[in-house]
């Protein structure tokens, strides 16, 4: 059976992430991982905080902490949010780990041995006011391509073009704000990507047909423009040090590897961290997932579009250049932007709700379902409180939550605290079983294809089928003349609730657990529901004790929505 390796783009250590970051990588990766596990697959879902680079140093300085202390606190804060969203990481590591340092230095040595790293003298921005060379992100200015006035020296976040600090118009120090900058000579290591371009092209030609258009188009655009040799070291105090046994002069100068060189290697290193963290008596073989992995391992990456070039071109070039059998990605699921009323989420401008605040407003399942059901797959999508309110009230409260409450409350009132028996299934139940099997197959098809919006629509259709059946049979009327028929209707509906508790788990795990937990069944819930079981709807037999859970989803009122708009911005 296929083993599934799943990673999502590493969230940067600096600050709690907004909803767009959540839906752009981690949440869909979690939904997919949960789905695969439910289907019985062996899944390893890996992520980590990306802890190197200049923003971490700047943020630590502003907070009055050492960088190590700042990153440790920030990691714990981010992990608490992801736990709140019930992200089911097998391991959530840290790129500042010893495992990542060791692997990054190993990769660099191998690339050097194979002729793909070269030491070059470069002219770099120096700030006399700060008394240091300024790494790319320590230089800010105006992008020469789009005119964005807050572009960084490595990349413009507005147009996503990769830059050098010397490309910027009116550059300034991000430390002091000084515009009194000089260009001086220093030495750095360069990854010779130009020598690997044809190998990367051949690799993408071999695997890219399965990728979304967004992923392939960005990768091919970079290749068409031609891969450039890129500096992979920086002048920073925090990072993976250049190994002294290979580059003694640069090591003595305190050079560290560029964050975008070591960060992708952390996917591998975090898996080693996972293995090293195994409970006593348990052995985990991390290398079987990454090194000379057999054809049973399928590797899927999730990320927003700004990260796609690094994962489809730059890191594959690194893996190819080491000339070792490291696992390369099989499918890159890229996402566009989630905007806030068409604009950017902004902490400084108090626009948009961020993930920690979201959990203080409403339980995670509200956010999980809305975000994935409206994932920015084919194009950018916009978060609005109006859309969020409508989705929660219609899909979650009315379609799913109300169905569960109506069925269980009415059955307890009329038949007591056990699933009623009633007569054998009839024509309506046969039609329903066939419809559920068909809709379940459609849901599986979209999940297998990583089409999350379509998968959410298929899941919603499954929920709606239960409501249609309930309206057709109308047990509240049926019981007046045909109690046995009403009992059958309610027993069938209860089996639907349990089925929903299984297949909805990837989207709304807490709610799914509550639906399954309503029934006192012997043994654990089935991992998944096959077509035959879907048609028969007989998992929950008559006589099974049940309870009525609290309201699964409370509706968002007009007053709630207006208060959210006022608090978080909106138009």
Question: Residue 501 and residue 504: Cα distance in Å, rounded?
Answer: 6
Closest CA to 226 of 206, 261, 200, 247: 200
Low-confidence ranges of the chain (pLDDT < 50): none
The helix or strand, by DSSP H or E, that contains position 8, with its residue range, turns out to be strand 3-8
Between strands 3-8 and 297-304, the pairing is parallel
The helix or strand, by DSSP H or E, that contains position 372, with its residue range, turns out to be helix 364-373
CB-based contact 46:90 (threshold 8 Å): yes
CB-based contact 199:328 (threshold 8 Å): no
Can you say whether the dihedral through the CA atoms of 166, 169, 172, 174 is positive or negative? negative
Task: Establish whether 347 is an annotated binding residue.
Answer: yes
Record: fold of 385-536: Isoleucyl-tRNA Synthetase; Domain 1 (1.10.730)
- Record the tokens describing residue 485, joined without a space: 């028929």
- Record the tokens describing residue 365, joined without a space: 């399942």
The helix or strand, by DSSP H or E, that contains position 122, with its residue range, turns out to be strand 117-127
**Predicted local confidence at residue 160, as pLDDT:** 81
Between strands 42-49 and 331-335, the pairing is unpaired
Task: Establish whether 156 is an annotated binding residue.
Answer: yes
The per-residue pLDDT for range 179-195, each reduced to its tens digit, is 999 989 999 999 999 99
**Predicted local confidence at residue 570, as pLDDT:** 64
Domain definitions of the chain by residue range: 3-105+260-382, 114-256, 385-536
This prediction's pTM: 0.93
CB-based contact 499:530 (threshold 8 Å): no
Task: Establish whether 146 is an annotated binding residue.
Answer: yes
CATH class of domain segment(s) 3-105+260-382: alpha beta
Produce one character per residue of 357-377: b if its CB has 16 or more CB atoms within 10 Å, e if not: ebbeebbbbbbbbbbbbbbbb
SS3 132: strand
Residue 12 DSSP label: B
The per-residue pLDDT for range 478-536, each reduced to its tens digit, is 999 999 999 999 999 999 999 999 999 999 999 999 999 999 998 777 789 998 989 99
Question: Residue 310 and residue 332: Cα distance in Å, rounded?
Answer: 11
Question: Residue 84 and residue 63: Cα distance in Å, rounded?
Answer: 25
Residues 6+ apart with CB under 8 A from 563: none
- Record the tokens describing residue 507, joined without a space: 């989207």
Record: fold of 114-256: 2.170.220
């Amino acid at each position: 059976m296929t083993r599934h390796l799943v990673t999502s783009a590493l969230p940067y250590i600096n600050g709690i992430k907004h909803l767009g970051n959540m839906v752009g990588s981690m949440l869909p990766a979690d939904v997919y991982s949960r789905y695969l596990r439910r289907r019985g697959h062996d899944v390893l879902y890996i992520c980590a905080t990306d802890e190197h680079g200049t923003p971490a140093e700047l943020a630590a300085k502003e907070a009055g902490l050492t960088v190590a202390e700042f990153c440790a606190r920030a990691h714990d804060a981010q992990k608490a949010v992801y736990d709140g969203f019930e992200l089911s990481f097998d391991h959530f590591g840290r790129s500042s780990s010893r495992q990542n340092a060791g692997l990054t230095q190993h990769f660099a040595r191998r690339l050097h041995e194979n002729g793909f790293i070269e030491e070059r003298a470069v002219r770099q921005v120096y700030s006399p006011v700060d008394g240091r060379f300024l790494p790319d992100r320590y230089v800010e200015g105006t992008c020469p391509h789009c005119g964005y006035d807050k572009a960084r020296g490595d990349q413009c976040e507005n147009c996503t073009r990769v830059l050098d600090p010397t490309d910027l118009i009116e550059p300034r120090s991000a430390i002091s704000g000084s515009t009194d900058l000089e260009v001086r000579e220093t030495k750095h290591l360069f990854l010779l990507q130009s020598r690997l371009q044809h190998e990367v092209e051949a690799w993408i030609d071999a695997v890219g047909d399965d990728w979304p258009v967004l992923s392939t188009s960005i990768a091919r655009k970079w290749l068409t423009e031609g891969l450039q040799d890129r500096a992979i070291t920086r002048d920073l105090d925090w990072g993976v040090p250049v190994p002294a046994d290979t580059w003694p002069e640069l090591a003595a100068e305190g050079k560290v590897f560029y964050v975008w060189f070591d960060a992708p290697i952390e996917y591998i290193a975090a898996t080693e961290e996972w293995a090293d963290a195994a409970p006593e008596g348990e052995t985990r073989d991390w290398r079987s997932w990454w090194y000379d992995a057999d054809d049973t391992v399928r590797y899927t990456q999730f990320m927003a579009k700004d990260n796609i070039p690094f994962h489809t071109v730059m890191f594959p070039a690194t893996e190819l250049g080491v000339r070792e059998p490291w696992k390369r990605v099989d499918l890159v699921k890229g996402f566009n932007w989630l905007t806030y009323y068409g604009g950017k989420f902004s902490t400084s401008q108090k626009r948009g709700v961020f993930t920690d605040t979201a959990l203080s407003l409403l339980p995670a399942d509200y956010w999980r379902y809305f975000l994935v059901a409206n994932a920015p797959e084919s194009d950018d999508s916009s978060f609005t409180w109006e859309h969020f309110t409508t989705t929660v009230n219609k899909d979650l409260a009315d379609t799913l939550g109300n169905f569960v409450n109506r069925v269980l409350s009415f059955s307890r009132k009329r038949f007591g605290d056990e699933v009623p028996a009633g007569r054998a299934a009839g024509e309506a139940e046969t039609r329903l079983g066939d419809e559920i099997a068909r809709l379940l197959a459609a849901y599986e098809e979209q999940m297998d294809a990583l089409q999350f919006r379509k998968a959410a629509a298929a899941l919603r259709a499954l929920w709606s089928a239960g409501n249609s059946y309930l309206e057709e049979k109308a047990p509240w009327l049926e019981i007046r003349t045909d109690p046995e028929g009403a009992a059958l209707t309610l027993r069938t509906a209860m089996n639907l609730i349990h089925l929903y508790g299984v297949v909805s788990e990837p989207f709304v795990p807490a709610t799914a657990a509550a639906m399954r937990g309503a029934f006192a069944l012997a043994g654990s819930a089935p991992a998944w529901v096959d077509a035959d079981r879907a048609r028969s709807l007989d998992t929950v037999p008559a006589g099974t004790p049940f309870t009525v859970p609290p309201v699964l989803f409370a509706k968002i009122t007009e007053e709630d929505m207006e208060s959210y708009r006022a608090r978080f911005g909106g138009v």
